[in-house]
Amino acid sequence: MANPVVDTRLSKRFDKWDFDRNGLLEREDFEQEAARIARSFGKPSDAPEVAALRDAFHALFDYLAAATEGSASSLSREEFEKAAGDLIYNQGEAAFNRALGPVVSGLVGLCDKNDDGQINGEEFQSWLTALGLDTTSAKDAFQQVDTNGDGELSQEELLAAIRQYHFGQLDVELLG
């Protein structure tokens, strides 16, 4: 399954999530990432949407840690790439959606200003900004993720785009 684009993307994801740059992914790193995203949306740390995103990142960490044979409290780069790679390439879409769904739903919760459960063009701009992503091609990125073309990004479309990104089938970054 190995392919250079795909490996680079997982490795980049590791660097991004290793918040304290100690070469290991820990629960604390995932918590910091959730807090950083919440801050960039200007949400207080005790807001329910922030708690939901933090819980989702915790659950994702626990999932990945449980999938490795070594220590359950941290993941080396190799362990992360193996566990995340297995989830993405071997376990199928349903397992991927179970693991990443809460994170996507937490992000939608923070971003969804008009509270309709979907992300429109304006909300998508704030998503990209909060995740530290390039907004210059936001319009093009939006259209690629909006596969049914209804002008809204559903959670299903966002999840599918994240999975395709890691398969190297789509060049839209959604998680930073």
Which positions lie near Ca ion, rule CB under 5 A?
18, 20, 22, 24, 26, 29, 112, 114, 116, 118, 146, 148, 150, 152
**Please, what is the minimum distance in Å from the beta carbon of residue 109 to Ca ion?**
10
For the CB of residue 31, give the shortest distance to Ca ion in the complex, in Å.
Answer: 11
Residue nearer to Ca ion on the CB measure, 146 or 173: 146
Closer Cβ to Ca ion, 4 or 48, answer by number: 48
Alpha carbon distance 170, 154 (integer Å): 17
Angle made by CA atoms 4, 9, 15, in degrees to the nearest 5: 125
Distance CA 13, CA 168 (A): 14
The minimum distance between CB 158 and Ca ion, in angstroms, equals 9
Cα separation, 23 vs 113, whole angstroms: 36
CB 30, min distance to Ca ion, A: 9
CA atoms of 106 and 40, how far apart (whole Å): 14
Nearer to Ca ion, 3 or 114 (CB): 114
Nearest to Ca ion of 95, 176 (CB atom) = 176
